[in-house]
A = this chain, B = another copy of it.
Amino acid sequence: MERFFNAKSVAVIGVSSSPTNLGRAIVFNLMEFQYQGLIYLVGPKGGAFAGHRIHQSVAELPEVVDLAAVLVPARAVPEVIRQCGEKGIRRVVVESAGFRELGDDRAELEREIQEALVRYGIRMIGPNCIGIINRRTGLAVPFMPMRAEAPPGRVSIFSQSGGVGATMINHCAAEGIGFSKFASIGNKLDVNECDLLAYYQDDPQTAVIFGYLEGIADGRRLMETAARSTKPIVVHKSNRGGAGAVIARSHSASLATDDAVTDAAFRQCGILRVADQNEGLTAIKGFLLPKMRGRRLAVISRSGGHAVMAADAADEFGFELPPFPDELVKMAESHARAGVIQFHNPMDLGDVFDLELYEKLAQQTLARADIDGVLFIHNYQGIFDAEGSRQLVKSLGRLMQESGKPIAVCVFTMQKELELNRKSAGYPIFTDPRDAVRALAWNRDFSRTPRPVFATETPVGIDREGAERLFSSCGDGLVPPDILASALACYGIATVPWAVASQEDEAAACALRLGYPVAMKTAALHVVHKSDVGAVALNLADDAAVRDAYRRLSGFGPQVLVQKMADPGMEWIVGGRRDANFGPVVLVGLGGIYVEVFKETAMGIGPLDRIQAERLVEQCRGAAVLRGARGRAPLDEGALLETIVRLSWFLYDFPQIAELDMNPVRVHARGCMALDWRAVMHQA
């Protein structure tokens, strides 16, 4: 990646002297951003632009450039890449559109490109993108003319959409926070978000990473890369399925991912997922502040109403508001004009007009050991107190640097004043207390410590070969329940005691062996909703009942599953499926009818360890019942967690399992067991 972003020379391929030529905009941007390297132009018609000769072919270039920015018709791209390869150019950005996003018949073009990349050892960004910008070297190759507005900043951006990426640059400029590096990655035929993520993580000029994605190239690599990061990663993943899927397909050739799986995967690997650009910006601003190391927040506000909002938000986002110490309260009181306001935390300074005191209060508050961060709300109309207010805002930045603690600063004033502050403050400014507190909460909650995202230690006592042998006879489709139960047993996952009977006498014998009462159900694979069609018999208490049930159930087929009736307990569902992007997805939730009504489920990407399993259970509100809500005896959560962990390995080890459900898994005071199980196999 370094060779893309720090290219010392660039060839813009696809320039002509026509005024509507888009390649010229690339040259414009290199000028506007004051590119420090050499620029060469290529276009079949020759001529000149911006004082540079337009070479008629890549071969004619006087030197081997570090980077080629290609904007020629889609059909010409493979040949241009081959020419670059012959010339010795090893980095290209292809901005041309007209590939897979127009339909699968264009896939052939992409294959040609890939062949050329491999043959010449070229790395490519694109196609169907607007290219990259390095704000510090001035390397800026988008084909839409842009302005180099705010000074270089500390957030680096990757975006699957050029338009959205450019908008984020505008937003960051308007906020006065600028950006460091930018990459529009389009169809991601070669370089994808994982490459950028890894590069930005190591880039000393990047403090925060923001990404906009419409599809995910390699879910597991993305998770592993993100989990290694010591820098906050904020991703706006759109294309949630439904209406968005159609347009995303034709915009950046992205297939929809299961949106709930994406949520779960991002949570697991520590990516903060935001729902829109505003949230994205709030998150970036929050992460640009020093790390908030605890929950103890001091609020200082010139406006009482905003102090009330801040207190509401502190509650909402889990902050504590320790009282101000007496000496600070006294200091504020001694400067109060009319003595008409009381001082708490939040401290309402509406009656104090001395802006230097504001600064002193902030400084002394930051110095306190019992405060982890400050929300400072300043409200001025800019008529009397403009200069002093701007000075105050600047000073808060200095205090923040000195103390190493975050100050989220809200400024309420006229638009023009706000912009002046944004230009001069040197840190992000908020305009809504709730937004500021949310940003602090994200800052606080995001761990910057790398950790493994998937479990590494296989649980003890797993007989993988045993399960493999059992599955070896299975084709695609539903797995026979006895085979599945045996395979689960190889992984130490308990099912209720069961047996298969093919005759009435055998059924009776099984029941006797298992112990009454028993349940029976057809083992015929074609019967899907067994209860609905009467293919289940429960609570059979004696031999006669079992024989009677067998005769009825054998109407569905001779094989019948006989199960011991399990003791009462709490019902959960533990299941999962194979996701095309992320691999084995484990689903945990309340079982029985509640799984459908309340949808209290949580997902994780396997293999999971026990702590991760516990987090999934905690995400379901039913966890309270498990732990003994309302004075009930607690149930065996540990057994449930063990089942989740083992199932995650089961799904990981057998990618041919497309879906698997254990519903319900009944959790008792000691142990838990699946009462019903079902899996569909699909060999890749």
In the complex, how many angstroms separate the beta carbon of A431 from the nearest chain B beta carbon?
8
Cβ 8 A contact of A308, one of B171, B214, B379: B214
Q: Which of A212, A629, A630 has the most CB of B within 10 A?
A: A630
Contact with B along A429-448 (1 / 0, CB 8 A): 00111110000000000000
- A648, B432: Cα distance in complex, Å: 39
Asked if A341 CB lies within 8 Å of chain B CBs, one says yes
Residues B174 and A415 in contact, CB atoms below 8 Å apart: yes
Residues B435 and A278 in contact, CB atoms below 8 Å apart: yes
CB within 8 Å of B: which A110-149 residues: 128, 144-147, 149
Residues B414 and A173 in contact, CB atoms below 8 Å apart: yes
Residues A251 and B415 in contact, CB atoms below 8 Å apart: no
Residues B102 and A247 in contact, CB atoms below 8 Å apart: no
Asked if A306 CB lies within 8 Å of chain B CBs, one says yes
In the complex, how many angstroms separate the beta carbon of A335 from the nearest chain B beta carbon?
13
Residues A338 and B247 in contact, CB atoms below 8 Å apart: no
Residues B147 and A308 in contact, CB atoms below 8 Å apart: no
- A645, B532: Cα distance in complex, Å: 36
Tell me which of A235-243, A286-294, A478-486 binds B: A235-243
CB within 8 Å of B: which A238-279 residues: 238-248, 250-252, 275-278
Asked if A557 CB lies within 8 Å of chain B CBs, one says no
Residues A244 and B384 in contact, CB atoms below 8 Å apart: no
Asked if A671 CB lies within 8 Å of chain B CBs, one says no
Give the residues in chain B near A239, CB-CB below 8 Å. 308, 312
Residues B145 and A246 in contact, CB atoms below 8 Å apart: no
Cβ 8 A contact of A597, one of B145, B348, B432, B621: B621
Residues B630 and A434 in contact, CB atoms below 8 Å apart: no
Residues B315 and A240 in contact, CB atoms below 8 Å apart: yes
Asked if A311 CB lies within 8 Å of chain B CBs, one says yes
Asked if A161 CB lies within 8 Å of chain B CBs, one says yes
CB within 8 Å of B: which A77-116 residues: 97-98, 101-102
Cβ 8 A contact of A307, one of B73, B165, B247, B435: B247
Q: Which of A98, A346, A351, A383 has the most CB of B within 10 A?
A: A383
In the complex, how many angstroms separate the beta carbon of A239 from the nearest chain B beta carbon?
5
In the complex, how many angstroms separate the beta carbon of A626 from the nearest chain B beta carbon?
10
Give the residues in chain B near A147, CB-CB below 8 Å. 381-383, 414
Give the residues in chain B near A321, CB-CB below 8 Å. 243
Give the residues in chain B near A163, CB-CB below 8 Å. 302-306, 350, 379, 412
- A384, B145: Cα distance in complex, Å: 8
Residues B381 and A146 in contact, CB atoms below 8 Å apart: yes
Asked if A218 CB lies within 8 Å of chain B CBs, one says no
Nearest CB in chain B to that of A337: its residue: B20
Asked if A17 CB lies within 8 Å of chain B CBs, one says no
- A431, B171: Cα distance in complex, Å: 9
Residues B243 and A315 in contact, CB atoms below 8 Å apart: yes
Contact with B along A619-642 (1 / 0, CB 8 A): 001101100011110000000000
Q: Chain A: interface residue count, which band?
A: 35 or more
Asked if A296 CB lies within 8 Å of chain B CBs, one says no
Residues B593 and A212 in contact, CB atoms below 8 Å apart: no
Residues B242 and A311 in contact, CB atoms below 8 Å apart: yes
Residues A308 and B344 in contact, CB atoms below 8 Å apart: no
Asked if A314 CB lies within 8 Å of chain B CBs, one says yes
Asked if A598 CB lies within 8 Å of chain B CBs, one says yes
Residues A308 and B247 in contact, CB atoms below 8 Å apart: yes
Nearest CB in chain B to that of A631: its residue: B532
Cβ 8 A contact of A243, one of B146, B167, B243, B312: B312
Residues B145 and A381 in contact, CB atoms below 8 Å apart: yes
Asked if A413 CB lies within 8 Å of chain B CBs, one says yes
Asked if A340 CB lies within 8 Å of chain B CBs, one says yes
Cβ 8 A contact of A144, one of B275, B381, B622: B381
Cβ 8 A contact of A412, one of B170, B308, B339, B353: B170
- A489, B465: Cα distance in complex, Å: 68
Residues B145 and A383 in contact, CB atoms below 8 Å apart: yes
Asked if A669 CB lies within 8 Å of chain B CBs, one says no
- A316, B259: Cα distance in complex, Å: 12
Asked if A164 CB lies within 8 Å of chain B CBs, one says yes
Cβ 8 A contact of A434, one of B167, B276, B433: B276
Residues A246 and B164 in contact, CB atoms below 8 Å apart: no
Residues B102 and A311 in contact, CB atoms below 8 Å apart: no
- A159, B305: Cα distance in complex, Å: 9
Residues B383 and A170 in contact, CB atoms below 8 Å apart: no
Give the residues in chain B near A309, CB-CB below 8 Å. 164, 238, 244, 276-277
List 10 A-B pairs, minimum CB-CB distance, nearest first. A161-B305, A163-B303, A251-B304, A164-B305, A244-B311, A97-B340, A243-B311, A276-B434, A174-B415, A145-B383
* Given contact pairs A145-B381, A598-B600, a sample of 13 additional A-B residue pairs in the complex whose CB atoms are under 8 Å apart: A98-B338, A146-B383, A161-B303, A163-B379, A163-B412, A164-B305, A174-B415, A243-B314, A243-B321, A276-B309, A278-B435, A415-B419, A596-B624
